[in-house]
Amino acid sequence: MKPVVVWAGLVALTLVEVALAWVHTAPVLMLGLLILLSVGKAAMIAWWFMHLRSFRPRLLVWLFPMLLLCIGLLFVLVRDGGR
């Protein structure tokens, strides 16, 4: 895909996020939707701009699940810290 098309897609998703802020939904729903859109935008940047698609599959399999596991553990730790 051409970089300009990816960029236009990222700008369009940003405008969708701003439109969501205009609507004023419940904070939990709003947070969920915004995180979903942000993950999508981050994936687009990583896949096309950071050339993740040409990454060696073995590295992809080792590194990214570990990163997701660490982020998942952060959620657990924050909840535990709130007690």
Q: Which residues bind other proteins (CB under 8 A)?
A: 3-4, 7, 10-11, 14-15, 17-18, 20-22, 24, 27-28, 30-31, 34-35, 37-38, 41-42, 45-46, 49-51, 59, 63, 67, 70-71, 74-75, 78-79, 82
For the bound state, the minimum distance from the C-beta of residue 53 to other proteins, rounded and expressed in Å, comes to 13
Q: Are 16 and 40 in contact (CB under 8 A)?
A: no
| CB-nearer residue toward other proteins: 35 or 61 | 35
Name the residue among 42, 75, 65, 5 with its Cα closest to residue 34. 42
What residues contact residue 6 under an 8 Å CB cut-off, 6+ apart?
44, 45, 48, 49
